A and B are shown apart, each in its own frame.
Chain A
Amino acid sequence: GAGVSQSPSNKVTEKGKDVELRCDPISGHTALYWYRQSLGQGLEFLIYFQGNSAPDKSGLPSDRFSAERTGGSVSTLTIQRTQQEDSAVYLCASSLAPRGLNTEAFFGQGTRLTVV
């Protein structure tokens, strides 16, 4: 498809289990972002990948959260030992390399994670 694709769209998991969320960015986009949006809240920055540069992990809330980006394309966000407070919509976005500040980020539809 032409847009950012995230899977699964919905995920229900038991507390303590590990989950993996997938993001397929737009072809050719070298920048990839993960955000978390709790119910009715803003977008909390988690991690940012740009090309071959070291990712900006400054938003990851704990060491239970990690993300990889293989081959500069698909990214996986992993949450280990999930907690109920991890329940949220996880949004992925991609953009062309931000040579200029005005580079627009395109968002996927998100993965709604529910920890029970």
Chain B
Amino acid sequence: AQKITQTQPGMFVQEKEAVTLDCTYDTSDPSYGLFWYKQPSSGEMIFLIYQGSYDQQNATEGRYSLNFQKARKSANLVISASQLGDSAMYFCAMRVQGGSEKLVFGKGTKLTVNP
């Protein structure tokens, strides 16, 4: 079974500072992919970044980077130079190679960026 854990229900950060959103995962499958999605108050789900279990380097997409620590089974999202528009819910998700390849999500972290 695959499981995603996000232990931070809410996080606050000052504008222009960096913030790390935690994500740990559990799977016995050696081949898996990890995703982060953003959900603003409008409700849409926006794909941010992807990390594969065999990727040698941490993924980066603009101000988003993924701190992937395979041995610790963690895939934390780092947002640099926070902007007011970054205020949203952030979800970590995983897909494993075995089984149905469904996408399983964590419970999310609500990020608030203060001016």
Binding site for B on A (CB under 8 A): 31, 33, 35, 41-43, 45, 48, 50, 53, 56, 58-59, 89, 91, 93, 98, 100-107, 109-110
Binding site for A on B (CB under 8 A): 6, 31-33, 35, 43-45, 47, 50, 52-53, 91, 93, 95-97, 99-108
* Min C-beta distance of A49 to chain B, whole Å: 10
Cross-chain contact B103 with A50 (CB below 8 angstroms) = no
Cross-chain contact B43 with A110 (CB below 8 angstroms) = yes
Cross-chain contact A33 with B50 (CB below 8 angstroms) = no
Contact of B106 among A42, A98, A110 (CB under 8 A): A42
Cross-chain contact A33 with B43 (CB below 8 angstroms) = no
Cross-chain contact A50 with B43 (CB below 8 angstroms) = no
Cross-chain contact A45 with B104 (CB below 8 angstroms) = yes
CB neighbours of A110 from chain B (8 A) = 43
User: Whole-angstrom distance between the alpha carbons of A105 and B47 in the complex?
Assistant: 8
Cross-chain contact B102 with A33 (CB below 8 angstroms) = yes
* Min C-beta distance of B22 to chain A, whole Å: 14
> Given contacts A101-B32, A101-B33, is CB(A33)–CB(B105) below 8 Å?
no
User: Whole-angstrom distance between the alpha carbons of A45 and B106 in the complex?
Assistant: 10
User: Whole-angstrom distance between the alpha carbons of A58 and B102 in the complex?
Assistant: 10
User: Whole-angstrom distance between the alpha carbons of A43 and B32 in the complex?
Assistant: 19
CB neighbours of A107 from chain B (8 A) = 44-45
Contact of B100 among A41, A48, A100, A101 (CB under 8 A): A48
Cross-chain contact B102 with A45 (CB below 8 angstroms) = yes
Contact of A50 among B6, B32, B33, B101 (CB under 8 A): B101
Known: A101-B53, A101-B96. 16 other contacts (CB 8 A): A35-B105, A43-B91, A43-B108, A45-B103, A48-B101, A48-B103, A89-B43, A91-B45, A101-B32, A101-B33, A102-B33, A102-B52, A104-B47, A107-B44, A109-B43, A110-B43
Query: Which residue on A lies nearest to B6, using beta carbons?
Result: A42
Cross-chain contact B108 with A42 (CB below 8 angstroms) = yes
Q: List 18 A-B contacts (CB under 8 A).
A: A42-B106, A43-B91, A43-B108, A48-B103, A50-B101, A89-B43, A91-B45, A101-B31, A101-B52, A101-B95, A101-B96, A102-B50, A104-B35, A104-B47, A105-B47, A105-B103, A106-B47, A107-B45
